[in-house]
Amino acid sequence: MVNTHWGGVVEDNSFGTHEFLDLCEQIGAEPYICGNLGSGSVEEMSKWVEYITFDGESPMANLRRQNGRERPWQLKYWGVGNENWGCGGNMTAEFYVDQYKRYATYCRDYGSNRLYKIGGGSSAVPTDYHWVEEMMKGVPSWLMNGISLHYYTVPKNWSDKGSATEFDEAEYFSTMEKCGLMEELVSQYCKRMDQYDPQKKIGLIVDEWGNWYNVEPKTNPGFLFQQNTMRDALTAATNLNIFNNHADRVKMANIAQIVNVLQAIIFTDGPKMIVTPTYHVYDLFKVHQNAKLLPSTMGTDNYEREGKRIPAVNCSASIDDAGKVHLSLVNIHFNAAQAVACSFAGFTPRKATGQILFSEEVYAHNTFENPNAVGPRPFSDVTVRQDGLHCVLPARSVVVLEVEGAKGD
């Protein structure tokens, strides 16, 4: 077929269901598949679920076996449609609710496999909260486990998004300001979801986000390849802090395009592979995974420019099973270091170590010729005092601290 959405090139679908699920098994990832509600049929989606997860005798299960996979896969996350407000069908919220219920009904649980069914969310530009309200009102919780949210940070505008590597402070500030809109979007989604689901049975699935710039020169515009700098690391860390702080509702948060597309974490060139500054943020933040959120409040200076102001520092905190506290701190200020004083309730810090992601140049990025231009290093500018922790965050830096201590009353 011709891929009319992305690049206009011939797509032979040689990387299909088997290859994708095999890759997920190899790297230990939980697969997430999105079914085609826009132009596909209920039967097509139903048979795909059966093909992947059914262990009995059926035409789909037998076809899977003929194609080389005897046992079914365990598949949890299943999207019922994608961006159906736009490229997925240009539907109204009311129409999509009816279609969602119809399609989701036939996405069945086979054997021990239990699907976590995710409904498509609304357009974030402009924001349409009516859509999520209709979803929460119209779809019962037993038929929908999550609602997705997509939001991309575009520094300039959709016709000229700006360069990934050539930008001034004004464009940098615009990027950080628009990145901060994610807090408003998540909060407004949570507010409406709480109204219809106070027990928080339905998760908020932020399954597409990141920075979106103009493609790199001399590349196919449809492939959406862009470089990845310290600016991207700062927005990635800011977004992850937002998601952490809403962990009671946000159950998944993916950068969807992970290799060579948009704010990717990996670049490849034939057999060669490098990681990006965004990858290093993910690596630093993994200490929060499977930990318990520690609610935090922060007073911070503002980063001001041309009459606008945004908080200079953002953070999130968690405690792991070993009793270690982790703090992820981001200073987005373009020019000024920020002093941070941190006190704890019910915890006495004894020792603190850390890692920092920082570069003198905000445009710094990794290339195949220089793959380690941006990477983490030990952070030592932190001290433990009687009143808590004190540290100084350089301008445009990401710091993750590990704090050992003792729980109090």
Q: Give catalytic residues, as residue numbers.
A: 83, 208
3-state helix, strand, coil in the chain (%, to 5): 25, 30, 45
Strand, helix or coil at 302?
strand
Tell me whether the omega of the peptide bond preceding residue 126 falls within 30 degrees of 0, making it cis.
yes
- Please enumerate in sequence order all residues whose Cβ is within 8 A of that of 335, keeping only pairs 6 or more positions apart, or say none: 395
Q: Which two tokens stand for residue 377?
A: 């290093």
Q: What is the CB neighbour count within 10 angstroms for residue 402?
A: 15
**CA dihedral sign, ordered 292, 295, 301, 305:** positive
| Cα(279)–Cα(276) distance, integer angstroms | 5
| Cα(10)–Cα(27) distance, integer angstroms | 28
Whether 183 contacts 151, CB under 8 Å: no
Q: What is the CB neighbour count within 10 angstroms for residue 139?
A: 22
| Cα(57)–Cα(55) distance, integer angstroms | 7
DSSP states of 344-374 as a string? Answer: -SSEEEEEEEEEEE--S-TT-B--SSSTTSS
For residue 403, the one-letter residue type is: V
- Please enumerate in sequence order all residues whose Cβ is within 8 A of that of 24, keeping only pairs 6 or more positions apart, or say none: 30, 31
- Which H helix or E strand runs over 79? strand 77-80
Q: Which residues pair with 400 in a beta bridge?
A: 328, 355
